[in-house]
Chains A and B, each alone.
Chain A
Amino acid sequence: MPADAAIVVDARTTFALEMAGISKRFPGVVALENVDLRLEPGKVHALMGENGAGKSTLIKILAGVYPKDAGSIRIGGREADVRHPGDALRQGVKVVFQEIALIAEFTVAENIFLEEYPTGRVGSIDWKAIRRDAKALFERIGFPVDPAAKTGHLPISQQQMVEIARALAHEARIVVMDEPTSSLSPSEVALLFAVIRRLTSLGIAVLYVTHKLDEVFEIADSVTVLRDGRRVSTRPIGDHSHQSLIQDMIGRRIDNLFPRARGPASETVALAVAGVSTDAKLRDVTFAAHAGEVLGFFGLMGAGRTELAKAIVGYDPIRAGTIAIGGKPLHPHETRTAARLGIGLLTEDRKGEGLMLELPVVQNLSLAALAQFARFGFIDEAKERATAQSFVDRFRIRTPGLNQTIKNLSGGNQQKVLLARWLMRGLKVIVVDEPTRGIDVGAKSEIFALIDRLAGEGLAVVMMTSEMPELLGLSDRIMVLANGRITAAFTRDQATQEKILNAAIA
Chain B
Amino acid sequence: MQRSGAAVLAAPDRRRVMSDISHPARPASLVGSLTSKNQIVLVAVLAVLSVGISLAVAQFYSGANIIAILRQTALVLVVASGMTMLLITGEVDLSVGASIAFVGVVAMDVINRTNSVFLGALAGILFGGAVGLVNGLIVTRLKVNSLIATIGTMMILQGSVFLYSREAVQNHHHIASFVDIGAGYVGPFPIPVIIAAAVFVASYILLRHTTRGRYLYAVGANPKAARLSGLRTDQLKLFAFVVTGLLVGVAGLILVSLMNAGQPTAGRGFELTVIASVILGGTSLSGGRGTLTGTLLGVLVLKVIDNGIIMLQWSQDLQMIVPGVVLIIATWLDLVRRRADAG
Contact = CB atoms under 8 A, between A and B. Distances in A.
B9 interface: yes
A217 interface: no
Contacts of A402: 23, 26
Contacts of A449: none
Interface string B277-293: 00000001000110000
A200 interface: no
Contacts of B325: none
Given A315-B227, A356-B222, A401-B26, A374 B210 contact: yes
Interface of B: 2, 5-7, 9-19, 21, 23-24, 26-27, 30, 33-34, 209-212, 214-215, 217-218, 221-222, 224-232, 284, 288-289, 343
A360 B29 CA distance: 12
A367 B14 contact: no
B211 A374 contact: yes
Contacts of B214: 363, 367, 370, 379
Contacts of A408: 11, 14-15, 18
Contacts of A399: 18-19, 23
Contacts of A228: 16
Contacts of A363: 30, 214, 217-218
Given A347-B228, A400-B19, A421-B229, 4 more contacts: A28-B17, A31-B13, A355-B222, A408-B15
Contact of A355 (B34, B225, B232): B225
Contact of A52 (B12, B228, B288): B12
Nearest to A54: B13
Nearest to B13: A29
B9 A367 contact: no
A334 B231 CA distance: 10
Contacts of B14: 28-29, 408
A379 B225 contact: no
A354 B227 CA distance: 10
A403 B35 CA distance: 12
Which 3 pairs of residues, A with B, have the shortest CB-CB distance? A339-B230, A356-B221, A52-B12
B17 A357 contact: no
A313 B13 CA distance: 36
A27 B10 contact: yes
A432 interface: no
10 contacts: A26-B10, A26-B343, A30-B13, A335-B227, A352-B222, A363-B217, A377-B211, A378-B209, A379-B210, A408-B11
Given A28-B343, A381-B30, A352 B17 contact: no
A313 B228 CA distance: 8
A356 B10 contact: no
Interface in A208-241: 228-229
B230 A358 contact: no
A282 B21 CA distance: 47
A404 B19 CA distance: 11
Given A363-B217, A378-B210, A403-B27, A353 B225 contact: yes
Contacts of A353: 222, 224-225, 228
Contacts, number: 155
Contacts of A501: none
Nearest to B227: A335
Contacts of A370: 211, 214-215
A220 to B, nearest CB: 24
Contacts of B226: 367
A377 B215 CA distance: 11
Contacts of A174: none
Nearest to B341: A405
Nearest to B24: A401
A368 to B, nearest CB: 4
B294 to A, nearest CB: 15
A362 interface: yes
A389 B26 CA distance: 10
Contacts of A140: none
Contacts of B211: 370-371, 374, 377-379
A129 B202 CA distance: 67
Interface centre among B209, B217, B222, B225 (most CB of A within 10 A): B225
Interface in A358-414: 358-360, 362-363, 367-368, 370-371, 374, 377-379, 381, 385, 389, 392, 398-404, 407-410
Interface string A468-499: 00000000000000000000000000000000
Nearest to A67: B2
B5 A66 contact: yes
Interface in A282-321: 313, 315
Contact of A29 (B10, B210, B229): B10
Interface string A43-85: 0000000011000110010000110000000000000000000
